[in-house]
Amino acid sequence: MLDELPVPDFYDPANARDWDYSPDQQRLAEAAAEWRRLHGIRPSAEDRRVVHLLLVDLQKDFCFPQGSLFVAGRSGEGAMEDNDRVARFLYRNLGNITHVTCTMDTHFPHQIFSPAFWLDDSGQPPSPHREVTVADIRDGALRPDPAVAKWVAPGGDYEWLLEHVEFYCRELERQGKYRLYLWPPHCLLGSAGHTLAGVIHEARLFHSYARGAPSAIEVKGTPPLTEYYSVIGPEVTHAHDGTELARRNADFLEILRQSDAVVIAGQAASHCVKSTIDDLLYHMEEELARKVYILRDGMSSVTVPDPTRPGELAFDFTPQAEAALERFREAGMNVVDTETAMAEWPGFV
């Protein structure tokens, strides 16, 4: 375990709140080379202990108020505060973190959780931020838009699609995780909101250049007929007739299983972070769960303001996130914070 490093002088915490910030990548590479020389930083390939930092969906649409799905938390500034804490954590622990992987939520306009996928009983797309239940579909309150069937259903079969959406909602309710929730368009591939927050991109590249590490990206969320909160796998893997919707990410799961420690932060604590950790817990034996470290101050929960009641929330998923953290702790995982030195984390050294 190496001592913590200083945060480089070029880092400006104001950029953690700046949608438009983007680092100069050539200068960053040059600065990292000098940092490596100045602090005697060794290549990550020489690490005897593999520490994997998993950053979940730290993308602009989630990380800034300009984004379509800003994760504000109860403070109203949650994800922007998290950007700063996570970037500083990575800089200070540059020599202790072997690999950094960023997941990227990646979507298209018509997916099962998109308002544009559905029509209400007046033939119009519903508003976002509402749940879809089995009763909604059976009663005709919501139905898939026939225009999308050709692109998402086998052979363009609309009747198949009708059967699938009812089965899908029933399966979610059976699992007891979530009900199907309609989100506003977010992290659409090719959009500005899909890209990583500038300070996170800057920190991951600096680590990559300084340590000769690959700085991997794991894309998730493209299958149109299932949700993909977790990077490990989809919420539902098969349709009502057994048609495969998406597969578990077995290769990446094995990479994490083979690591000596997995450190997790990102957005949102109530959804994609929670689901990813749930999947890790499901697929890890108890002794492997003990090598997972959750940065509780590096993530926030989804909150949705109530447009009819200023200052009130229509949805607040904070309690679900807090309950999950306690459950993870009870299962043997470690809930830590970015300010505590890694050498002081339980069981880390």
Q: How confident is the model at residue 284 (pLDDT cuts 50, 70, 90)?
A: confident
Which pLDDT band, with edges at 50, 70 and 90, does 1 fall under? low
Of all helices (H) and strands (E), which one includes residue 31? Answer: helix 25-39
Query: Phi/psi of residue 14, each to 5°?
Result: -65, -25
Going from N- to C-terminal start, the domains of the chain cover: 41-107+186-332, 115-182
Q: Mean pLDDT throughout 207-217?
A: 97
3-state secondary structure of 22: coil
Determine the straight-line distance between the first and last CA of the chain, rounded to whole angstroms: 7
Kindly indicate the confidence band of residue 71, based on its pLDDT and cuts at 50, 70 and 90: very high
Mean pLDDT to the nearest integer, 151-178:
93
Does pLDDT of 349 surpass 80?
no
CA dihedral 20, 21, 27, 32 (to 10 degrees): -140
Contact 80, 86 (CB under 8 A): no
pLDDT, tens digit, 9 for 90 and up, residues 19-48: 999 999 999 999 999 999 999 999 999 999
Question: What does the block give as tokens for 209?
Answer: 């250049």
> 155: exposed, middle or buried (C-beta count within 10 Å: 0-12, 13-18, 19+)?
exposed
Instruction: Say whether pLDDT at 336 is over 90.
Output: yes
Residue 310: count of CB within 10 angstroms of its CB: 7
Residues 6+ apart with CB under 8 A from 107: 114, 185, 186, 187, 188, 189, 221, 222
pLDDT digits (tens, 9 = 90+) for 215-226: 999 999 999 999
Residue with tokens 């649409």: 61
Two tokens, residue 189: 């591939």
For residue 246, name the pLDDT band (cuts at 50, 70, 90): very high
pLDDT exceeds 90 at position 177: no
Q: What is the mean pLDDT of the chain?
A: 95
Is-contact 70 281, C-beta < 8 A?
no
Q: What is the pTM of this model?
A: 0.96
Mean pLDDT of 81-101: 98
Could you say which of 3.40.50.970, 3.40.50.720, 3.40.50.850, 3.40.640.10 is the CATH number of the domain covering 41-107+186-332? 3.40.50.850
